[in-house]
Amino acid sequence: MLEGFKPEVYNMQETVAKAKEMGINISLYALRKLIDRNIIPHNRIDRTVLIPWDAFLAWALCCERGDINPTFRRAGAVT
C-alpha cells in the first residue's frame, strides 16, 4: 500500500515541544483545551491523546491568519 509512510503523530507533550521548536507558542493547557473541545482532530487510546502533526499545523496556521472561531478566542484559550 504505502510502503515507508509513517504519519507524524505525537502525544500532547511532544506536540507542544515540536511546536515550540518551530516557533509556535502554545502551552500544554491551551492544547488540552483545544483537545477537550474537539477543535483539533485527535485519537484517544486509553488516557493517551495522539495528535496528527498535520492537523495541529493546519489549526496553528489558520489561527495565525485570524480564521479562528471568535467564541474560542473569548474563552481565553487563544490570545
Q: What is the pTM of this model?
A: 0.71
The pLDDT tens digits for 52-78 are: 999 999 888 875 555 555 444 444 444
pLDDT at position 47 is 92
Q: Does the residue 45 lie in any domain? A: yes
Number of domains in the chain: 1
Spatial CB neighbours of 79, under 8 Å, sequence gap ≥ 6: none
Contact 50, 35 (CB under 8 A): no
| Backbone φ, ψ for residue 12 (5° rounding) | -65, -45
Q: Does the residue 69 lie in any domain? A: yes
* 28, amino acid identity: L
Instruction: Look at phi and psi of residue 46 and say left if phi exceeds 0, alpha if psi is from -120 to 50, else beta.
Output: left
Q: Does the residue 2 lie in any domain? A: no
For residue 17, give its domain range.
9-74
| Averaged pLDDT for residues 19-47 | 93
Q: Does the residue 44 lie in any domain? A: yes
Q: Does the residue 61 lie in any domain? A: yes
Confidence band of 27 (pLDDT split at 50, 70, 90): very high
Cell of 17: 515541544
